[in-house]
């Protein structure tokens, strides 16, 4: 995974008006975890990718930057 995931995650979160803390609550992680995803410090597991994609109503391919917006 590259920085497209972190950029897309941040853009989707902001577009939906969610704080990192609210997003963290919604998918069951800490705010620090979301921050590290958005800074490309760590990558989410597949189960969290599914949760994020479902929450935002997008495909995992779009979330990870394999599809264009």
For residue 68, the model assigns a pLDDT of 78
Handedness of CA 49, 15, 6, 62 (dihedral sign): positive
Q: pTM score, two decimals?
A: 0.92
Tokens 């998918």 belong to 27
**pLDDT tens digits for range 31-69:** 999 999 999 999 999 999 999 999 999 999 999 999 877
**pLDDT tens digits for range 10-27:** 999 999 999 999 999 999
Domains of the chain: 3-63 (1.10.260.40)
3-state secondary structure of 27: helix
């Amino acid at each position: 995974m590259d920085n497209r995931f972190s950029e897309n995650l941040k853009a989707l979160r902001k577009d939906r008006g969610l704080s990192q803390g609210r997003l963290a609550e919604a998918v069951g992680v800490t705010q620090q975890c979301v921050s590290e995803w958005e800074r490309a410090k760590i990558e989410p597991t597949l189960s969290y990718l599914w949760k994020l994609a479902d929450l935002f109503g997008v495909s995992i391919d779009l979330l990870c930057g394999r599809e264009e917006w």
